[in-house]
């Protein structure tokens, strides 16, 4: 692993999602809809659809400004006005790529709970082992993470300029 970051390839992402889908089904949770938090949750959510075949609704939340400084709180940059009623009474699977400070995830959960889904389960590829800035609300009873990591920067394949180099760095 170079420059103290964790390089993750597309193949690894795909296998992580597959094993998460198996754990999800083994847990007895049968989601009716997927909500993907953009942009990092989009590709994991699409791969999950291959295994559980549920519709995907996409939301965009931003916690970093253009200057990379934190907003005071996460802000919605895209929301699902026309489909919010689709969540009422439904079992939701909320997908993001990483559970870092948990601020964005918790904010998104709080907004989705306003639509009174039956349940929201949270699923992420990576959970960073660290003290979180916020906890999940008590409504969250099911949480799945693919891998627990140290508090390092994770490099996802969709951010790579040179995918061959990126993939090779994972193996290095």
Residue 71 contact partner, candidates ligand G4P, Mg ion, none, CB within 5 to 8 A by sort of partner: none
Q: Is residue 74 close enough to count as binding Mg ion by CB under 5 A?
A: no
Tell the smallest beta-carbon distance from residue 89 to ligand G4P (Å): 26
Alpha-helical (H) ranges within the chain are 10-26, 42-52, 103-113, 163-171
Nearer to ligand G4P, 21 or 149 (CB): 149
Closest Cα to residue 47, out of 18, 7, 9?
18
Known catalytic residue: 100?
A: yes
Give the C-alpha separation, 94 to 109, whole Å: 8
Q: Is residue 40 close enough to count as binding Mg ion by CB under 5 A?
A: yes
Applying CB under 6 A, which of residues 15, 141, 153, 163 lies at the interface with ligand G4P? 153
DSSP β-bridge partners for residue 149:
128
Q: Is residue 157 close enough to count as binding Mg ion by CB under 5 A?
A: no
């Amino acid at each position: 692993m170079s420059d103290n970051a964790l390089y993750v390839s597309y193949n690894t992402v795909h296998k992580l999602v597959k094993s998460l889908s198996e754990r999800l089904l083994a847990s007895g949770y049968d989601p009716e809809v997927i909500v993907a938090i953009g942009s990092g949750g989009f590709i994991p959510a699409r791969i999950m659809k291959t295994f559980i075949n549920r519709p995907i609704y996409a939301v965009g939340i931003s916690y970093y400004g253009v200057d990379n400084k934190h907003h005071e709180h996460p802000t919605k940059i895209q929301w699902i006005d026309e489909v919010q009623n689709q969540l009422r009474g439904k079992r939701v699977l909320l997908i993001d790529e990483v559970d870092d400070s948990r601020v964005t995830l918790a904010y998104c959960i709080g907004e989705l709970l306003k639509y009174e889904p039956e349940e929201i389960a949270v699923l992420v590829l990576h959970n960073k082992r660290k003290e979180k800035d916020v906890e999940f609300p008590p409504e969250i009873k099911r949480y799945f993470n693919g891998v627990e990591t140290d508090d390092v920067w994770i490099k996802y394949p969709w951010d790579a300029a040179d995918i061959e180099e990126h993939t090779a760095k994972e193996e290095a």
